[in-house]
Amino acid sequence: MTGPGPELRWSGTFAVDTLLKGPTGDKINLPSSALQQLLDANATAASAAAPTRFPSFEQNAHHLPYPLMFRLVNESNGKAVHAGVREFSAEEGHVVLSPFLLRSLGLESSASIPRVKVTAHQLPKGHYVGLSPVRDYAAYDPAVLEPLLERELRQGYTTLSVGTTLHVRSGLRDEYEFLVESVKPEGDGICVIDTDLELDLLRVPTATAQTPGAKGGGKAIDSSAGKSSPGGEIGTRKPVEGQVQHNEYVDYELTSWDKSRGLIIEAKHGIDPDASTEFFLDIFVSPKTPHLRERPRETQYWTAQMGPYTTRDPTRLEIPSGSLGTDEEIESVMISIYGFRDERLDGIGTKPHKFSLSVSSQKDGTRNNGSGQAAVNPEDTADKQRCDNCGQWIAKQNLVLHQLRCARNKRCAVCGLVAGADELKEHWHCSLCTSSDSAFGDSLVSKAKHDSRMHPGKALHCSCTASLEFDTISALARHRVTDCPEKVILCRFCHLEVPQEGDPTDPSSVAQTAYTGLTAHERADGARTADCDLCGAIVRLRDMDSHLRHHEMDKKGRARPVLCRNALCGRTLHGVGPRGQELADHSKKMRFCVDEAAQRNLVLAEMVASEGVWDLEWCVAACETSGDRDKAREWLQNWAPNKYE
């Protein structure tokens, strides 16, 4: 309530409509008749509370308390919880509850049609809430809790009830649960609208074992024998060894590299005689930026190397410099190794496949010859001769023996591969991928994998709300890292990882995103206001940067203040004589006794001016305003132009 007023008395019993999708937070939907009953009850309460000689109560007869709050009681088990109202659009005799209210009242799995009693009940504005985590989490960051709860309460909650459990979502999958243990003012609930709420975490969760490189509350990956490697950080100097199971990923993160050069990522097959020979490795890469947070996957990546599907050569991906975005935005490079095998081979390949992953910087002139190998340096072939059959460079003294063995093998007419008849039996090249030099392999299972990715035969759809169709996995992956509403971003205003939202099929939404550089979520979240620290103006968060730039432009055009002509004075006022008379020469320095504070300000201003950043006049004005060196520097940074602007 915004202030003391007549008590609203109203209640009703309704059947819970579980078929309709409920609102979010602690909101309920009531029938339209309930609104009229509330207005009538409010008019009656206002009439009874107003003196007869003041008929002005009629002005407030149709103004319901704000915010409107209710107390809900489950008639079958007696559980109670407080709630706010979303709208009056439910069917007559029914009420629609949010998932939070259904859990709090114990109505999640009710077989019969439950009934609840709804009573108008205004709560006091809260100023304290004590929360306790329900369980421990693998990845718990206390710094994230406050913005998470702020967003959760702001978006959907009117009240908080003691004993209820808040489900706070972080991103698309991770979720935290917190029990409301205590509130102030003391009672069974508080109002959280238009109030400053102090958050107290009564118990800090214990961080359980977490996978290196994993995020959120995800499960840890067992790195024991038979499981995929946990991944982690990788550098450009030393390769890392790992293992991957069929149809699983191993995630790595590159945090430091030469951004002026491109990257070469290479995954080599490990040597394991007991492992399956029909095992293939793919490389998926995405930059980690404020607008891209999810790890790369088969249907969600920035760039990838899928193929050639052969175990003869390593999987090699070259990333030109600048192709991952602007260097200022990239925090790291996320690399995922995906492995798959021929599932037709029963009992073979159940062990994880070993591999070696290396990341290096591109050198000037480095290029790929299309077979996964770098171009041969002519200096390395001085004592070698090229075989006419397989194209390999062989030492001249061994060339004759090599040609005798090589002539027994067959040669692929497309790529020139020379191998035995058994090896070339399932060797294939995709006739549709004419622009790709990696669309080939050595087995039919790899051909089926390639076709399912590049030629699925039916339209692919994203799980987001946009009704878009895609011809290939690559097109779907590009959508999911660019304009997909479910793409997770780091909001610059709430500082949380949230879906970017928006509609990629709406030209207006696309134009706003391109013009402002803000996603749909950031445009909505940036509509909140805050006070400017410099001038105190109320400014929208999304306009704060431009507002501060106006301060910078205004600062550069300001004229220097005029110092007092008294050389011993540390003020910016015009000097006067000992008796107050005006002096004829306003440019001539004087030396009169001044108070200790003014002289101290002058000494302090000269110290700051000796740094050579601001003129003495501005330093005197800053010290006159604050009287403290640190505060004077802050004032100068905010309001005074420096010598280099």
Looking at per-residue pLDDT, the higher value among 394 and 120 belongs to: 120
Domain spans of the chain, in order of start: 11-120, 128-201, 232-361, 382-425, 557-645
Query: Does this model's pTM top 0.75?
Result: no
Q: What is the mean pLDDT of residues 279-295?
A: 91
**pLDDT, tens digit (0-9, with 9 covering 90-100), for 182-211:** 999 999 999 999 888 888 877 765 554 344
Looking at per-residue pLDDT, the higher value among 560 and 50 belongs to: 560
Q: What is the mean pLDDT of residues 529-548?
A: 91
Q: Cβ(302)–Cβ(335) under 8 Å?
A: no
Q: How far is CA 315 from CA 164, 306, 324, 406, 480, in A?
A: 52, 8, 20, 25, 24
56 pLDDT above the threshold of 60: no
At the topology level, CATH places domain 128-201 in Vcp-like ATPase; Chain A, domain 2 (3.10.330)
**Residue 391, token pair as written in the block:** 């194209």
| pLDDT confidence of residue 264 | 93
**pLDDT, tens digit (0-9, with 9 covering 90-100), for 60-90:** 556 788 899 999 999 888 999 999 999 999 9
**pLDDT, tens digit (0-9, with 9 covering 90-100), for 465-509:** 888 899 888 999 999 999 999 999 989 988 888 899 999 999 999
234 pLDDT above the threshold of 90: yes
pLDDT band at 6 (very low <50, low <70, confident <90, very high): low
Q: Sign (positive/negative) of CA torsion 81, 86, 92, 97?
A: negative
Residue labelled with tokens 């005029």: 562
Looking at per-residue pLDDT, the higher value among 580 and 305 belongs to: 305
User: Is the bond preceding residue 308 a cis peptide, omega within 30 degrees?
Assistant: yes
3-state secondary structure of 189: strand
Average pLDDT, the chain: 81
| pLDDT confidence of residue 171 | 62
405 pLDDT above the threshold of 60: yes
- Percent of the chain exceeding pLDDT 90 equals 32
Residue labelled with tokens 């492992």: 275
Question: In a 10 Å sphere around its CB, with 0-12 CB exposed, 13-18 middle and 19+ buried, how is residue 611 labelled?
Answer: exposed
240-249, 511-520, 564-573, range with the lowest pLDDT: 564-573
Looking at per-residue pLDDT, the higher value among 139 and 281 belongs to: 281
| pLDDT confidence of residue 183 | 94
For residues 508 and 511, what is the distance between their CA atoms, to the nearest angstrom? 5
| pLDDT confidence of residue 562 | 79
Find the distance separating the first CA and the last CA of the chain, reported in whole Å: 51
pLDDT band at 260 (very low <50, low <70, confident <90, very high): confident
Q: Which own/partner contact pairs does 36-40 have at CB distance under 8 Å and 24+ positions apart?
A: 37/10, 37/12, 38/8, 38/10, 38/64, 38/68, 38/120, 39/64
**pLDDT, tens digit (0-9, with 9 covering 90-100), for 210-233:** 443 444 333 333 445 678 899 999
Alpha helix stretches (DSSP H) within 469-506: 473-480
Alpha helix stretches (DSSP H) within 50-185: 99-104, 142-156
**Residue 445, token pair as written in the block:** 């299972």
| pLDDT confidence of residue 591 | 59
358 pLDDT above the threshold of 90: yes
| pLDDT confidence of residue 51 | 57
Q: Cβ(381)–Cβ(393) under 8 Å?
A: yes
| pLDDT confidence of residue 296 | 94
Q: Sign (positive/negative) of CA torsion 179, 185, 188, 191?
A: negative
| Range 232-361 has CATH code 3.40.50.620 | no
Residue labelled with tokens 């280099």: 644
| pLDDT confidence of residue 370 | 45
153 pLDDT above the threshold of 80: yes
**pLDDT, tens digit (0-9, with 9 covering 90-100), for 20-29:** 888 989 999 9
What class is the 11-120 domain? mainly beta
Tally of CA atoms within 13 A in the half-sphere of 168 that contains its CB = 28
Q: What is the mean pLDDT of residues 161-176?
A: 80
| pLDDT confidence of residue 123 | 94
3-state secondary structure of 524: helix
| pLDDT confidence of residue 369 | 47
517 pLDDT above the threshold of 80: yes
Q: What is the mean pLDDT of residues 147-152?
A: 81
For residue 629, the surrounding DSSP H or E stretch is: helix 629-639
For residues 123 and 65, what is the distance between their CA atoms, to the nearest angstrom? 11
Q: Sign (positive/negative) of CA torsion 366, 367, 373, 378?
A: negative
pLDDT band at 401 (very low <50, low <70, confident <90, very high): confident
For residues 49 and 56, what is the distance between their CA atoms, to the nearest angstrom? 11
Q: Where are the beta strands (DSSP E) in 57-125?
A: 69-74, 80-90, 94-97, 115-120
pLDDT band at 582 (very low <50, low <70, confident <90, very high): very low
| pLDDT confidence of residue 59 | 55
